Amino acid sequence: LQSNGCGPGFAEENTSSEEQAMIKTTGNSYLASPNLPDFCGCSPGWSSAFYGAECFDSEVHNYLNNLGKKKSSESQNIDAKKVELEQLLMMETKNYRKTIKFYQKLLQKERRSKGPETKSMLPKLRGQLQEMKSKVQFLELVKKYVQAKQWGVESCVLPTVIHNGKADAMDMAPMDESSLLLYYNTEKHQCDSQNGVRVLQAGTPLGLMAYLYSRNAFLEGYVQQFLYTFRYFCTQEEFLQFLLDRISSTLSSASLDPSTSLTKICNRSFYILQAWIEDCYSVDFATNTDLLGTLKEFISSKVASLNGYRERLLSLLEDASARKSGSADLCSGVDKCEEESEEGRRTLHSLCKKLSEDVSRKNFYWKLSKGMGPIAQYQREHLHTGPAVLPKPCCSSFTEESSVSLARADEVGPVLLIECSAQQLCWQLTLLQQEVFNKCHPVHFLNSRALGVKDKCVAVPKAVSAETVSLKVCNLFLSKCIQDQYLLQLLKNADSISTWVAAEIVTCHTTKRQVSLLSKFLLIAKCCYEQRNFATAMQILAGLENLIVRQLPAWKILPAKVAEIMEELKAVEVFLKSDSLCLMEGDRFKTLPTIPSAHVLAMHVQQLETGGFTMTNGAHKWTKLRNIAKVVSQVHAFQENPYTYAPDFKLQSYLRQRITRFKDADISALAADNCANFHQIPAEKQSRKIQDTLRRMKATFQ
């Protein structure tokens, strides 16, 4: 089995809960209660929004068609296929877990004894791990495909979806699909049996919501794209009411027969509702208590407990709320994964968190032309070093090798910045950056103009707080749509780090120390972008490009090799700004952790938001919204592959203190108090100049 490259993008399922829910069956028996479909992990995931219809290739189709066939002439019902798929996935995941644990034990044994036998076994085991990981991801993708194919209706039934949810349905005039949605035809799709395939081009708000019930909505990536972008044409309250109306009108009439339209509409409504909660709880429900209250009241009063929907949804809301409240500990909780029970509630992705590249290897290279010329001579195709399945050691080597005592971490002064290595500082700054990045959501990068974000290095003025930003200017969301402003915190954090970098340099009282700090920050930035932490690299670059810092005399005596790093950083900046999807090229982003520059990403989204969102007939351009969803989906893609460096909490505390101290500093005022920031004229030369001036003035009076 081969992975088609889309698998890691999906949120992997909770295998332990699946094991408990699995009914031990033989032959052609299958999972029971048709009343309660398998809604475990309804969110399609970022890869659905990014790849769209290409997410499920022909290999997935063929595998599902052949699943469960004992003979080529036989066919098997979908429920039996699901049972066999669940059993295969359960078995492969267990084997994958066991192999990871065995590899970790072997790795520790090899470090202690360094025996030739264990050293020869490690490469073979790495290959097996990569194979098993690909197989599990492929089976997860097939499972998502099975779920996505269920409960959809044909396009001609979409007007009925709208009709069923209306209280005054009897008085409604019949609707035509063409009045709701606009399509354009393309060439035959590789997985479509027709001569051509219709692609959604535009639609009214009601039509776009109704298209969620289309048979191919999940397969095309439409559902995930809709969840990212619906705020441009409807509010959260309107979308929730649309779903609840469909549930109310079909729940009592839905039969056990899954082929009826009412059953499909009812189940698809619950499916979409759960996907919305799973993916967007933090940006829609957590920030809107009225919306959350409406949903909970509906579930408690309208949804019967007999079919299990009520318990499932209430449990989902409770879990989502707990995750939201505990998100502050997301980064520090990586090491706690080893303390969790293997049979506890753990997803396949929690296993993947332990897998990382050898961070000591450089894995991001840039080729610069001499004299820089046009800064377009960079290398987009980068070498892949090492397999992506290597478990990261529990203890980092830099903790053992470091001779720096961090007992004085709370002391004022850049002592530790100079004494610690660039790699040590890079790792801890990356973990600090990851902590704030993991709290953001793709929706946070939408409609950023309304938050006052502009195309400047300092996006958010220090004097303006998030609460005072006017939402009346350039607001692309509907006026009643509540927008989470976490992006402002993300940009303010970036600005604080840039200011800290500049402040540390201009407060050095000797030119020699300034040279040391300049070199250290340049090396840190280089290490950051080589490890694909572009956020911190660009923040350091912004600090070094501060007008006061750029005029320091220390730049003239900086070693040439270190000074060249500045040009490399500028080339990286040009690369990041060149294409909104430049970091998603190839497969590196799936195996190597990545943190993008928040400001650069926000500017790319603003570029896509430029221009009208509606056509002349009032229909909203879905092609435009789809492109926006594709760009912001990379946020979730990067969050799925975290850095696993060992945290040094004392060093992190020191860095936090220094950043907090200088975050609102006036760099020009700090620089004015330090004579090392000015070009010094030698005393003899200055005295000679004064004497010559006096001599000339004396001559004019004679």
Compare 396 and 663 and report the one with higher pLDDT: 663
Stretch 205-220: mean pLDDT: 91
Residues 6 or more apart whose Cβ sits within 8 Å of residue 7: 47, 134, 137, 138, 140, 141
Q: Does pLDDT of 61 surpass 60?
A: yes
Q: In the chain, which segments carry CATH 1.10.840.10? A: 420-458+480-683
Burial class (CB in 10 A: 0-12, 13-18, 19+), 130: middle
End-to-end CA distance of the chain: 100
Comparing 2-11, 183-192, 306-315, the range with the smallest average pLDDT is: 2-11
- What does the mean pLDDT of the chain come to? 76
Q: Does pLDDT of 686 surpass 70?
A: no
Stretch 108-131: mean pLDDT: 77
User: How many alpha carbons lie under 13 Å from residue 598 in its C-beta half-sphere?
Assistant: 30
Q: Does pLDDT of 323 surpass 50?
A: yes
The reported pLDDT for the residue numbered 441 is: 96
Inter-CA distances, 10 with 38, 254, 347, 348, 585, Å: 16, 30, 11, 11, 18
H or E element at residue 180: none
* Token pair belonging to 131: 């194979």
Q: Does pLDDT of 464 surpass 80?
A: no
CA distance 68 to 56: 20
Greatest mean pLDDT among 46-55, 102-111, 619-628 lies in 619-628
Q: Which residues of 622-635 are buried (b: 16+ CB within 10 A; e: fewer)?
A: bebbbbbbbbbbbb
Give the chain's length.
702
Q: In the chain, which segments carry CATH 1.20.870.10? A: 152-166+179-185+196-321
Compare 438 and 11 and report the one with higher pLDDT: 438
Stretch 46-62: mean pLDDT: 84
* Token pair belonging to 204: 């009214």
Sign of CA dihedral 399, 402, 408, 409: negative
Q: Does pLDDT of 486 surpass 60?
A: yes
CA distance 262 to 255: 8
Stretch 286-312: mean pLDDT: 86
Q: Does pLDDT of 364 surpass 50?
A: no
Q: Does pLDDT of 370 surpass 60?
A: no
CA distance 129 to 135: 10
The reported pLDDT for the residue numbered 127 is: 85
Stretch 225-244: mean pLDDT: 96
Burial class (CB in 10 A: 0-12, 13-18, 19+), 92: buried
Which of these CATH numbers, 1.10.840.10, 2.70.150.10, 1.10.1660.10, 1.10.3720.10, describes 420-458+480-683? 1.10.840.10
Compare 698 and 283 and report the one with higher pLDDT: 283
Compare 432 and 419 and report the one with higher pLDDT: 432
The reported pLDDT for the residue numbered 488 is: 96
CATH 3.30.420.40 fits 152-166+179-185+196-321, yes or no: no
SS3 454: coil
Q: Does pLDDT of 5 surpass 50?
A: no
H or E element at residue 326: none
Residues 6 or more apart whose Cβ sits within 8 Å of residue 101: none
